[in-house]
Amino acid sequence: YKGNVVFASIPSNAKIYINGADMGKTPAGYKDVAVGQYNVEFKLKNESLKGNFA
């Protein structure tokens, strides 16, 4: 199974890391993402937000 994922932030331009890999900046969308559990981190300036999604 695959799905689509969209990431957004306010303010925009937060760096996106999925399983430690740099995936660009918000806003961003990804198609055909394999179903599974992922570690996600957003970084903007000196702040970060971490979480998991499945």
pLDDT digits (tens, 9 = 90+) for 3-52: 999 999 999 999 999 999 999 999 999 999 999 999 999 999 999 999 99
pTM: 0.87
Name every residue whose Cβ is closer than 8 Å to that of residue 32 and which is 6 or more positions away in sequence: 2, 3, 4
Q: What is the pLDDT of residue 8?
A: 96
What residues contact residue 17 under an 8 Å CB cut-off, 6+ apart?
A: 23, 40, 41, 42, 43
What letter does residue 30 receive in the DSSP assignment?
A: E
